[in-house]
Structure 1
Amino acid sequence: MIVKDVNQEREQWGSKVGFILAAAGSAVGLGNLWKFPYVAGKNGGGAFVLVYFIILFLVGFTLMLAEIALGRHTQLNAIGAYRKLREKWAFVGGLGVLAAFMLLSFYSVVGGWVINYVIKSVTGGLNVSDPEVLGNMFGEFVANRWTPIIYHAIFMLLTLLIVLGGVGGGIEKASKIMMPALFGFIILLAVRAVTLPGGIEGVKYLLVPDFSKINMEVILSALGQVFFSLSLGMGCMITYGSYLGKDTNIPESAVIIPLCDTAIALLAGLAVLPAVFAFGFEPAAGPGLIFVTLPAVFSQMPLGNLFAIMFFILVLFAALTSSISLLEVCVAYVVDEWGWNRKLTTWTLAGLIFAIGVPASLSMGPWADIHLLGDRGFFDTYDYIVSNWLLPLGGLLLCIFVGWIWGTDAAIKEVTNNGTLEFKLRGLWVFLIKYVGPVAILVVFVRSLT
């Protein structure tokens, strides 16, 4: 039997910068470095980026501010925050905690792949220019029974050790190291890619919009990318917001965090697409871009092995800054609601998440013939449930709760710290959280099920 530790005091961020870097790190993940470049490449480059920026403000900023305000007001985890304000709405927080738990189980598997590729890049194992050979190499690796599981365990252990240090000593300290390093690496890579012969065509493709390519598919793709890129709907920002003091300017933070996330995504696009164009590869190469196409590109660049090492370390940092926020959502819930000791909670949850992730890894190889939902294996089933159900529902219900149940007046009172801070976008934000946000997310939700 576990006895509640009633003497545990809730931690707080050591500084405003620490919170912003940690929150931005939560948002910055594999979706920025892997998904954004190929989604932009597939959806018209500059046309996609333009639509993405518009939606970033209309939806991203709106939900980000709502989640942070909800967390700081209640000083509780995702479930506790909803329960404190309206008992019957606690299930919405439950959707977020479940989403974080399930997402981390297969996200950690991919994180393990990244660690393997960091090692391969350091040892020269990726110095191959033939995409077909690289594709076979990747396929053989993920299909192996034990090797990906070992790397999955290493990634979970790194995540666990950071979260074990607590909010200030673990998450904030790690974010203060990894996020500046991440920005430094991505800027160097972008500069190198842009200066490649022919690379300027990739820059034009990414940044110069062709308005004729803007259609409903591009709009929906940008909407989905914004929503899932910012870690919204899974309790991360509620949890991180709960560690804030009253002196934090929430509107300012809710603008800076999405902008940091988007800056990384754009820099990733500038690091990837000019290089892809320079060597004649397909900009819409799809999910294989990071593990197959890019290693082929790096092998043909001067000092390519060095840039490959930098790139995969960059991807690892991005994966870790997101994984620690996902684990923290689950840890905060158990510590707050059950009163467990933080260290015991972290070890227990990390172990459970690792165990649930093992079938996701095996589904790429030995268990490939085991199907759960339709023709989906464990990995794809986890992904489908989180991406198509839990996150959109969590975001939709967040808008309804803050806009209509808790109420925008109460939310703005928290945001402005009882009127002591100015919030110039008050009227616009109320309209967005009540009407635009729910409709936009509902569209994504319905589309994801078709």
Structure 2
Amino acid sequence: MTNDSREQWTSKFGFILASIGSAVGLGSIWRFPFVTGENGGGSFVLIYLLCVLFLGLPVLLSEIVLGRSTQRNPVGALRLQGPGTFWFLGGYIGILATGIILAFYSTVGGWTLFYTWQSILGNLGGLSIGEAETRFTAFISDPVIPVLWQALFMILTMGICLFGLQNGIERTNKFLMPMLGILLSILVIRSITLPGAMEGVRFILYPDWSDVSFTTIFEALGMAFFSLSVGAGTMITYGSYLSKKESIPSAVGNVVVFSTLVSLAAGLAIFPAVFSLGYEPSAGPPLVFITLTAVFAQMPAGGLFAVLFFFLLSMAALTSSISLLEVPLRYFEDEHNLSRQKGTILIGGLIFLLGIASTLSFSTWSHVKGIAGLPIFESMDFVASNVLLPLGGLVIIIFSAWKWGMHQVLEALRGEDGNRLAGEGFWGFVARWITPVLILAVFVFQVLSNL
């Protein structure tokens, strides 16, 4: 059962760029470098790449196959392929996850816009790392200014979604993703040509197994899972716009390869510069907004490269945020006949109001605690990233591999020509037996380690 009137991508290229844009966000350019820095560099990267293949790829394939086969949102797709069962609840988990993620994501999205503007004005030049930390703390502690930048970020996100699939999401990604690639390449070249930069290159590319622990392995599993934008139904939604004539394996292969390359390039843009100027690679989440601000202040032509980097970060945040908003929008369009215009304003507005709480958790609501005594921002991150996304991914992979069945999944993957795919048996085994165990391990580890 499909929806023949459903809007579709104008080409497989448009789908690939939009999917890469969804996967390549703050997770790839903000989170990946600092998690890599905290977990020893090259050994973490190698484990991460293996996890992309054995955890992220099977779920990504399953989500896109479900979406294209049903041409429905996450709830509708699971309901159509598993009528009379409870599997559709996995779709609701994804929709809830995207709403919560976008709420706190818009907080950081506002920070990226603010830092882009500040770098354009030249207000970040000449700062020491102590001054950069003071500047960042003063900004996020203000009860008004960060909310205004968050509002601007949400207005941009909603504005793109208002134009629909082809004129909004696809056209935006066709413009932003090539630009992101060009800017990131420029930053990588500049970073690795700094004096002493090769130490940073070795840090990210050469494994050092002496510091590897179970924590490193599970962090890599989680990073692979989240960096491909799986578990929240985003790729079910994007897959539902994909023509039956297009090859899913080749499209997914491009998404995985380019998304992974962007993460690695982000590391190569950051760590050589950090090592060159003598900063600590394991600075954690402040690595971008504090450490890199100080790095750019000392780098030749640093003002220009600060503008390029923070603009790049803003673009990456925006391409992910529109995919997050599209999931609940598509659900309400499909299941409740809500128009895109009304849905965008209503859902986007509600998510913005929820996001205000996460933004104020750094200022006037800093005393308010949520899950496990965490501040509101971190509570949202914990619930979405450590609970809802793994649960959503687990439901999708078990449903696809066992309820719907690998035979049906592989048949849908083959497309209209029906040609068998290389390694079908191997990937069927991985999807049924390896991936669910790994996702469950990530889920249990992350929940227990944060309680």
TM range (shorter): over 0.9
Post-superposition Cα deviations, 1:1-52, rounded to whole Å, max 9, x if no partner, equal xxxxxx9931100011100000000000101111111211222211111111
In structure 1, which of residues 125, 134, 137 is the aligned counterpart of residue 135 of structure 2?
A: 137
Secondary structure at the counterpart of residue 198 of structure 1 = coil
Aligned to 1:4: none
Amino acid at match of 1:109: T
Aligned 8 A contact 1:128 1:134 in 2: no
Unaligned runs of 5+ in 1: 1-6
CA contact (8 A) 1:128 1:295 kept: no
Q: 137, 146, 161: which one pairs with 1:148? A: 146
CA drift of 1:376 comes to 1.6
Residue from 43, 48, 52 that aligns with 2:39:
43
**Shift >4 Å, 4+ stretches:** none
- Count of paired positions: 444
Amino acid paired to 1:50: L
1:395 to 382, 393, 396: 393
Instruction: Pick from 5, 8, 24 the counterpart of residue 9 of structure 1.
Output: 5
Question: Which residue does the alignment assign to 1:65?
Answer: 61
Map of 2:286 onto structure 1 = 288
SS state at 2:88 partner: helix
The answer for the alignment partner of 1:373 in structure 2 is 371
Q: Does 1:92 align with 2:93?
A: no
Q: Aligned equivalents of 2:59 and 2:435: distance in 1?
A: 8
Residue 220 of structure 2: aligned partner: 222
CA RMSD of the aligned region, Å? 1.3
Name the SS for the 1:449 alignment partner: helix
> Distance in 2 between the 1:267 and 1:186 partners?
7
In structure 2, runs of 5+ residues without a counterpart are none
Q: Which amino acid aligns with 1:95?
A: I
Residue 61 of structure 1 aligns to a residue whose secondary structure is helix
Mapped contact 2:87–2:395 kept (Cα < 8 A): no
1:74 maps onto 2:85 in alignment: no
- 1:41-71 CA distances to partner (integer Å, 9 max, x unpaired)? 2222111111111111111211111110000
- Which residue in the other structure is 1:385 paired with? 383
Aligned to 1:257: 255
Q: How far is 1:217 from its partner? A: 2.2
Distance 1:343 1:186 in 2: 34
Structure 1 CA distance for aligned equivalents of residues 87 and 155 of structure 2: 33
Per the TM alignment, residue 423 of structure 1 is displaced from its structure 2 partner at its CA by: 1.2
Of 163, 184, 187, the residue aligned with 2:185 is 187
Contact 1:99 1:234 in 2 (8 A): yes
Alpha carbons 1:239, 1:329 under 8 Å: kept:
yes
Q: Which amino acid aligns with 1:199?
A: A
Residues 277-313 of structure 1: per-residue CA shift (max 9 Å, x gap): 0000001110000100001000101100000000000
Structure 2 residue aligned with 1:319: 317
User: What is the alpha-carbon distance in structure 2 between the residues aligned to residue 185 and residue 386 of structure 1?
Assistant: 30
Residue 17 of structure 2 corresponds to residue 21 of structure 1: yes
Match of 1:423 in 2: 421
Q: Hey, what does 2:410 align to over in structure 1?
A: 412
CA–CA distance in 2 between the matches of 1:217 and 1:381? 21
Alpha-carbon distance in structure 1 between the residues aligned to 2:16 and 2:179? 15
Range that drifts further, 317-326 or 87-96? 87-96
Of the three residues 6, 29, 35, the one matched with 1:33 is: 29
Separation of aligned partners in 2, 1:136 and 1:263? 33
Q: How far does the alpha carbon of each residue in 1:240-270 deviate from its partner, in whole angstroms, 9 at most, with x for none?
A: 0000101111111221111111111111000
Q: Distance in 2 between matches of 1:69 and 1:237?
A: 9
Q: In the aligned structure 1, how far is the partner of 2:4 from the partner of 2:409?
A: 28
